């Protein structure tokens, strides 16, 4: 068997005698071919695979020899390579390994040509990007930023543009005209979905603005600039602000009492705990609270960390920390017993995130039951609960600053971002403990 010492000796002999020297590795397996080492007078030493095919010796270059396997192949690496070639030879037609390797190399080159051609076609197609692709790119950008609005935008685009206007969807985004978008919005307004029309207009305008900004903004994906957008066709369309109706519905103490009692009767532990926790924590957004993970709980410091991605943020979601009251801590303990990992807290397995529709339907069901039982003055939604909490806080004299800290809104100004480092934790704890007493009394 070959050794590094034998190869080194062969190399020295080739230099000294100024002639080519070679030696074969003996593997005691006839007909499988041999590993050959050939040393030149210059010192160049290479491995070869030699085998007998059709009564003719054939040799294939395996690679340069390097005992460390850095600038070439070590002896062990060469043996593995020869073993691989021997296997290929057995699979090759008529044992013609050279022909087989040429065909394989040719196939690889052809595949590489096809890949490059496909990439070129994709780039070409992207440069001629459609209106549909522009809107999809915008949704992907929102998803990459962790924006909760991504899902809303995707659904609005699918239902009101892609499905309703297929020809417009397949038109080049750069050639879409103002009147075409107006037609889309007008159809929605005529159907009575004015609020969604206003939202769709905002999303489409933002999609075009994103593409135009991509040329000079490195934070925007490069894929957004391939639509060759030079002007925003939505810029001249009014904001439809008359359809952005601000809800004013709040629950009074008696309604809140019945709302609390009906939540407590919900059959789903996860849904029940999420709605109660959102209320006891001062009216948190259920979508944000649903994304809390077990690692975001600190039972030693009695805090819960909620990530708030709303607003134009470039540095990730804002960390919104709240104190855990005794009631909330007790509510969460059964959820922790459902799983042993660091997954989502409001989940039966830590992996499946509770759907927003599930929470919304639960509140709708409670509202319907309360209306039928005469326990509610009028219809209400999940977001009205959040408004109810802040309204009651204000009535109790809680300052606007502390209310904003509890509900995580209006905190994007320069003062809050750079100067006001006070966490308001004690103030929030005091308010939420008193709020806990109020809710427990109602129950």
**Residues 191 and 277 reside in one and the same domain:** no
Q: At what angle do helices 425-442 and 269-280 cross, to 10 degrees?
A: 120
User: Is residue 114 in a domain?
Assistant: no
Task: Decide: 266 and 283 in contact? Cβ < 8 Å.
Answer: no
pLDDT band (50, 70, 90) for residue 414: very low
Which of residues 222, 243, 264 is at a domain's end?
A: 243
DSSP assignment string, 323-346: EPPHHHHHHHHHHHTT-SSSSBSS
pLDDT of res. 412: 52
Residue where a domain stops, chosen among 243, 278, 313: 243
Burial level of 148, CB count in 10 A (0-12/13-18/19+)? middle
- What average pLDDT score do residues 169-192 get? 92
CATH number reported for the structural domain that contains residue 210 in this entry: 1.10.150
* In a shared domain, residues 301 and 403: yes
Shared-domain flag, residues 390 and 313: yes
Total count of residues recorded for the chain: 443
Q: Each residue of 213-236: pLDDT tens digit?
A: 887 877 777 777 778 888 899 988
Q: pLDDT tens for residues 375-408? A: 999 999 888 999 999 999 999 999 999 999 998 8
Do 69 and 172 share a domain, yes or no? no
User: What does the pLDDT average to over 8-30?
Assistant: 86
Is 99 among the domain residues?
no
Q: Is residue 259 part of a domain?
A: yes
Residue 225 and residue 268 in one domain: no
Residue for token digits 């054939």?
58
Q: What is the CATH number of the domain that holds 348?
A: 1.10.443.10
Domain co-membership, 326 together with 397: yes
Structural domains of the chain, count: 3
Percentage of the chain beyond pLDDT 70 is 89
Q: Which residue has the tokens 């969604």?
A: 196
**307 and 383 in one domain?**
yes
Q: Is 52 helix (H, G, I), strand (E, B) or coil?
A: strand
Domain's final residue, options 187, 215, 243: 243
- Which secondary-structure segment (H or E) carries 174? none
How far apart are the C-alpha atoms of 128 and 124, rounded to whole Å?
Answer: 6
Does 126 reside within a domain? no
Indicate which CATH number applies to the domain containing 37.
Answer: 3.30.160.390
Task: Give the structural domain span for 274.
Answer: 253-442
CB 407 within 8 A of CB 388: no
Check whether residue 195 and residue 260 sit in a common domain: no
Domain identity same for 269 and 416: yes
| pTM recorded for the entire structure | 0.55
In this prediction, residue 415 carries a pLDDT of 44
Same structural domain, 285 and 422:
yes
Same domain, 298 and 203: no
**Whether residue 419 has pLDDT greater than 50:** no
Same domain, 53 and 168: no
Q: Is residue 104 part of a domain?
A: no
């Amino acid at each position: 068997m070959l050794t590094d010492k034998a190869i080194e000796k062969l190399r020295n002999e080739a230099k000294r005698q100024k002639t080519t020297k070679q030696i074969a590795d003996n593997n005691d397996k006839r007909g499988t071919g041999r590993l050959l080492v050939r040393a030149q007078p210059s010192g160049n030493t290479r491995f070869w695979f030699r085998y007998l095919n059709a009564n003719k010796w054939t040799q294939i270059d395996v690679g340069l020899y390097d005992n460390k396997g850095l600038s070439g192949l070590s002896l062990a690496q060469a043996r593995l390579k020869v073993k691989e070639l021997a296997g290929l030879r057995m699979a090759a037609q008529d044992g013609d390994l050279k022909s087989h390797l040429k065909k394989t190399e040719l196939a690889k080159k052809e595949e590489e040509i096809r890949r490059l051609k496909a990439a070129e076609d994709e780039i070409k197609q992207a440069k001629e990007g459609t209106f549909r692709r522009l809107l999809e790119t915008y949704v992907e950008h929102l998803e990459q930023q962790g924006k909760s609005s991504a899902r809303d935008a995707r659904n609005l685009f699918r239902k009101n543009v892609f499905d309703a206007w297929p020809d417009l969807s397949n038109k080049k985004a750069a050639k879409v005209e103002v009147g075409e978008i107006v037609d889309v919005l007008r159809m929605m307004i005529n159907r009575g979905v004015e609020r969604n029309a206003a939202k769709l207009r905002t999303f489409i305008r933002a999609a075009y603005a994103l593409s135009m900004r991509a040329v000079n903004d490195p934070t925007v994906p490069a894929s957004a600039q391939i639509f060759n957008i030079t002007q925003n066709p939505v810029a001249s369309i009014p904001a439809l602000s008359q359809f952005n109706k601000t809800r004013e519905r709040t629950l009074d103490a008696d309604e809140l009492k019945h709302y609390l009692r009906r939540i407590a009767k919900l059959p789903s532990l996860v849904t029940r705990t999420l709605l109660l926790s959102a209320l006891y924590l001062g009216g948190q957004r259920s979508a944000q609270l649903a994304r809390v993970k077990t690692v975001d709980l600190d039972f030693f410091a009695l805090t819960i960390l909620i990530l708030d991605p709303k607003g134009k943020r470039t540095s990730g979601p804002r960390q919104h920390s709240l104190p855990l009251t005794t009631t909330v801590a007790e509510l969460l303990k059964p959820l922790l017993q459902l799983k042993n990992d660091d997954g989502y807290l409001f989940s039966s397995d830590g992996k499946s995130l509770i759907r927003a529709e599930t929470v919304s339907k639960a509140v709708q069901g409670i509202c319907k039951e309360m209306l039928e039982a005469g326990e509610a003055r009028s219809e209400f939604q999940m977001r009205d609960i959040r408004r109810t909490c802040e309204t009651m806080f204000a009535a109790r004299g809680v300052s606007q600053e502390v209310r904003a800290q509890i509900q995580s809104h209006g905190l994007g100004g320069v003062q809050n971002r750079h100067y006001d480092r006070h966490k308001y934790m004690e103030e929030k704890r005091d308010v939420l403990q008193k709020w806990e007493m109020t809710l427990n009394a109602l129950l």
